[in-house]
A and B are shown apart, each in its own frame.
Chain A
Amino acid sequence: MKVVEPIGMKHRGKVRVTGIWGFNGKTKLKIPLFTAGISAGFPSPADDFVDKTLDLNEFLIKHPAATFFVRVEGTSMIEAGIHPGDILIVDRALEPHDNNIVIAVLNSEFTVKRFRRRGDTCYLLAENPAFKPLEISGDMQIELWGVVTHVIHKV
C-alpha cells in the first residue's frame, strides 16, 4: 500500500510524517526488507545497497487527488508527440501557463490544445499545420479543465 503524502505539507529535504491521510490501494510500493536470510549463511554483500523499488506513480503524479487520465482521439497534436490512442496524465492542481498543453472544454467536448498567452489574448493552438489556431477573445467562455503533464505512448 502506498501512503499518500499530505499535499501542501511537504518539508524541504527531509519528509516529516505528520499523519496518514488515506491510501491509494491501486499500486504497491515494494520495500525489500530482508533479501538475505536471517539465520543461514553469510549476509549478501549487496544488502547495504538495497533501495526501494521504483514506483511510476511517484514519478509521474504529484497531486494524486487532482490527477486524471484521458484518452486521445484525433491527430491535431501529433507534432507535440501526442498520437491517437495515447493516454494523457492531467493534473488539475496546476495553473495553466504559457506554452502548456491543456485540456479545454469546447462546444461541450474535451479537447487537447497548446495554451498560448500573448499579452491579454490567449490562444489554443493545434500542433498540426492542418488545424487552425483558436483565439480566445474577452467575451468567450472557455473552461480549462486541466494541465497535461505526461503522455503515455506505446511504441
Chain B
Amino acid sequence: MEKRFALVDCNNFYVSCERVFTPGLEGKPVVVLSNNDGCIIARSNEIKQLGIKIGDPLFRWKATIKKCGGHIYSSNYTLYADMSRRVMETLASFAPDIEIYSIDEAFLPLSGLREDSCKYGRRIRHTVKKWTGIPVSIGIGPTKTLAKAAARVAKKDSACAGVFDISHHPEDILAGLDVSEIWGIGYRHARFLKRHGIRTGLDLKEIEDSWIKKHLTITGLRTAWELRGISCIPLEEVSAPKKSIMCSRSFGREVNSFDELRQAVTSYTARAAEKARRQRSAASCIHVFLIENPFVHSHFTSHAACVQLPVPSAHTPELTGYALAILERIFKPGLSFRKAGVMLTGLVPRGQVQMNLFYPGREGLRELSLMKTIDTINTRWGRDTITYAGCGIERPWGMRRARLSARFTTCWNDIPVVKAS
C-alpha cells in the first residue's frame, strides 16, 4: 500500500496561544520573548512583515513594536504546554496513531485514507481551530520529508488555504526549496552541499547514492530517498525515555554569591529529579555547571564537574547533597555567573537499579513514598506547592518574566473572566 503522511504544524504557536485568551490581539502585531525577556522567539505575521527576525534582541525593536500598537509577552510555557496537549489530543482522533514531533508539530499517518487527502486535511484544520482556537498548516506527502516540505508551502502560499499535498508535482516544489530548508539537512551539510553546487531539493534528489552516502552518511542518503518519494523514516509513536535530563536556566541578573548559586542548583536538581521520577528512571551520574557572564570576557567560560552515584537514585535530597558538593568544588569567589545547570545522566529504569554491596543506598520505601507524595501534591496544586527550603523563598536570581500572561487553563485563580454586563 502506498504510504502517506501529514505534518500538522501550528502557525506562530506561542502567539496563537496568547491570542486565544486575549481576543483583542487578533490582527495586531504580537511577539513572545525568550527566557529572561531577552530575544524575540515567536512572531505574529504582522511582526514578520516588519522585517523582525527570530532571535533578534527586544531592545532593537521595542520602540517600533510599541509605535504600531504591538503587544509583547514573556514566554508562558505552562500555557503553551497545555494548549499543545489539547491540539495533539484533537489530532489523535484523526489518525490511528500520531507522532508528536515537537510542541507545535505532529506527523499523522494517512496511508489507506479513502477520501481526498486535501479535503481530510481541511477538516483536521477546521476542527483544531474550532476546538482549541489554534490555526494550523498541513503538509501531505508520500514521505515525512516531503510532508514537511509541503507544510512550508501550505503556510506560505495563501492560495492553499492552509493545506497542501505535494504528491502531484513534487519537482516544482523541490526546485524552489533551498537545501538548508530540507528536513534533516543541518547547517553544516547545507553549506557543504552548496559548495558543491547542490542548492535545491531537486538537485539533492538527483545526486548519485554513493556520493551522498560518502559525504552525508546514511542519514543524508535516507533524506535523498525520502525526497524521491520512498519512505525510509517511519513514524515514531512512543518517545523513548530520555537518556539524560538537563535543567538549566539563565539568571535574571548576574549572580556572584555562593548562597544564591546554592539556591539555584538546589531548585534545578529538584526539577531534574522530578522529571527523572516521572519517566520512572534513576540517575547514575550528576553533573553541575556554572557559566560566567560572557559579556565580561567576551566568551563563555564554564566550570563543571560530575559525580558518579554509588547506587542510581532519583531521590531529591540525595541528589541535592551531591550537587551541592560539586558546586562547592567548582565555585570560585569573585566571579560573576550568568547561568547554572544540573544534568542527570546514565538514566536507568527504576526497576533495574544495580545494588551496591558496600553502600546500601538511601532510597528505601519511605523515601520512595515521600517523593511520590510531593510529586502528587505538586502536580495537583501547581509547581512548587511543596518545595525545598534550600531553593530559597524570594529567589532574586530567578528568571525575568515581566510580561507574563496568566495560566488561563491550568490554575483556578487565572481562568479567563467573562463579562455578564
Interface residues of A (CB under 8 A from B): 4, 6-9, 18-19, 21-22, 25-26, 63-66, 68-78, 82, 84, 87-88, 92-93, 103, 105, 108-112, 126, 131, 143, 145
Contacts and interface: CB of A to CB of B under 8 A. Distances in A.
Contacts of A64: 89
A70 B89 contact: no
Interface of B: 23-24, 85-90, 92-94, 96-97, 130-133, 379-380, 408-409, 412, 415-421
B80 to A, nearest CB: 15
A74 B421 contact: yes
Contact of A63 (B131, B380, B416): B131
B131 A92 contact: yes
A73 B380 contact: no
A19 B97 contact: yes
Contacts of B420: 72-78, 82, 84, 111-112, 126
Contacts of B97: 19
A70 B90 contact: no
B89 A65 contact: yes
Given A66-B132, A68-B409, A21 B92 contact: yes
B417 A110 contact: yes
16 contacts: A7-B90, A7-B92, A19-B96, A66-B86, A66-B132, A69-B409, A70-B415, A73-B417, A74-B420, A74-B421, A75-B420, A77-B420, A93-B130, A110-B417, A111-B419, A112-B420
Contacts of A78: 420
Ordered nearest first, which 7 A-B pairs have the shortest CB separation?
Answer: A108-B24, A74-B421, A66-B131, A74-B420, A65-B89, A7-B93, A110-B418
A110 B88 contact: no
A110 B24 CA distance: 10
| Residue of B90, B92, B131, B420 most packed against chain A (CB within 10 A) | B420
A26 B92 CA distance: 20
A26 B96 CA distance: 25
Contacts of A7: 89-90, 92-93
A87 to B, nearest CB: 7
Contacts of B85: 22, 65
Given A19-B96, A64-B89, A74-B421, 16 more contacts: A68-B409, A71-B418, A72-B417, A73-B417, A73-B418, A76-B420, A82-B420, A84-B420, A87-B415, A92-B132, A110-B23, A110-B418, A111-B418, A111-B421, A112-B419, A126-B420
B44 to A, nearest CB: 16
Nearest to B128: A65
Given A8-B93, A19-B97, A63-B131, A75 B421 contact: yes
A82 B419 CA distance: 11
